[in-house]
Amino acid sequence: MSETDILQTIEDYAQAACLAQDAGYDGVEVMGAEGYLINQFAVPRTNQRADEWGGSTANRARFATEVVRRVHQRTGSSFLLIYRLSMLDLVEGGGTWDEITFMAREIEAAGASIVNPYVGWHEARVPTIATMVPRAAFVTLTARLKKELKFPVVASNRINDPSVAEEILARGDADLVSMARPLLADPDFVKKAISGRALEINTCIACNQACLDQAFAGRVSSCLVNPFACNETELLITATVQKKRVAVVGAGPAGMACASTAAERGHEVTLFDSGSKIGGQFNLARKIPGKEEFAESLRFYRNRLANANVRMELGRRVSAADLVRSHFDEVVLATGVTPRVRDLPGVDHPKVVSYIDIIEGKKSRVLASRSSARVASGSMSQSFSLILNTERTTPPGNSRRSGELIFPLTIVVVSSLSARSSRVAKCGCCNAAQSELGKVSRRRQAGSDVRCSVGAACT
């Protein structure tokens, strides 16, 4: 960028803030983290300049401080100015701690009201917001930064529970807590927390599939656990004008969403599942190392189903004849998928196990040889590898180097999935919700009619 470009860009930041102020906003946040332009000026990784905008720590901080100073001058002291600071770049050539604290103090002096530290560039290979990252994993770093500054400091990154936020504030690790994805998952997060209904919060599971992944792909962001996010004007759920008796077969995520939505609309709903508890294969997914947050979705639906007065028939494999005899007005099949056993020589050998056998402990995870083989691809194979890596053991008297894995038996995991036949009436108004939940059947893509996950909303 030329000197002229830099000065114009600084003015552009200020003009954008003024437009927000004119529109009635109380403040703005200047993005100085995550590897975006201001962050690029701040670190030697990307700033190779030899003029007054590069080189020394002070010069590399100049662009950020001038942006803040100009925004503050144009908007006034009563307008909230938050600065998003990268307190840990997690890339080679990123800022040192001394440089980061210097930047924070300069930002404070330039007129920022609050600093909101963030961890990691988008290019960083270290996970910072994915589900395997522990809750509030970087708050100790925030607390360290807070000691260096006089103005309020915000804690962020993987804070998705009100009790975690309260603990951070009670310890004095931060002055405020910021959340983004948790409010996509549940826009009533704060209201529920204040009113003592934390168990009813639809918790963000940090999957990033419908928010960040879609944003980076140029599509509308939403939320995997809340498909209504950013679709509020399209997915309209209203009270029914004709109460019906609805049977939902299958208590996995799709079945639970369908049953609770239909009941909340005013229908009389019975939810069937052959398992003894709700969740379907979500109960398997939550046992994968790093996916423990999935249990929060089950907690949410457990409470939602109870509050909606959904009758649950668990531990019962309902038949078509049972459904006919019960005279339901509508039946929704949400029975999910079953493993497809491949036709391979030796597939019936005792050493061959499925992913369900391993996850549920039906077959011992610690068997008799030193290696395992996986006949699969994609996320299930990766998840299975995580289980073995996490729960590896060392036989008595056998030493191993740190990081060396012991797999005591050759295991072939057959884990391909096939959908059960579940052809029912098409749910026209909720196709978008089905898509956002990531549950679109390949049969729909082939032109078949398949009811969506909130299908009973349309009955």
Active-site positions read 36
Output the DSSP codes for 68-129: HHHHHHHH-TTSEEEEEEEEE--STT---HHHHHHHHHHHHHHT-SEEEEEE--TT-SS-SS
SS3 297: helix
Exposure on the CB side of residue 266, measured as CA atoms within 13 A: 9
Torsion 436-182-127-405 (CA) sign: negative
**Separation CA 190–CA 211 (nearest Å):** 20
Q: Are 248 and 271 in contact (CB under 8 A)?
A: yes
Residue found under tokens 């909606």? 308
**Separation CA 454–CA 175 (nearest Å):** 40
**Separation CA 248–CA 192 (nearest Å):** 28
Output the DSSP codes for 356-422: HHHHTTSS-SS-SSS--EEE--SHHHHHHHHHHHHT----TT----TT-----S--EEE--EEEPP-
41 CB-near residues (< 8 Å, 6+ apart): 47, 53, 54, 60, 62, 63, 64
Beta strands, E only, 261-355: 268-273, 311-314, 330-333, 337-339, 352-353
292 CB-near residues (< 8 Å, 6+ apart): 286
Burial class (CB in 10 A: 0-12, 13-18, 19+), 4: exposed
Q: What residue type is assigned to position 73 of the chain?
A: Q
**Separation CA 145–CA 85 (nearest Å):** 11
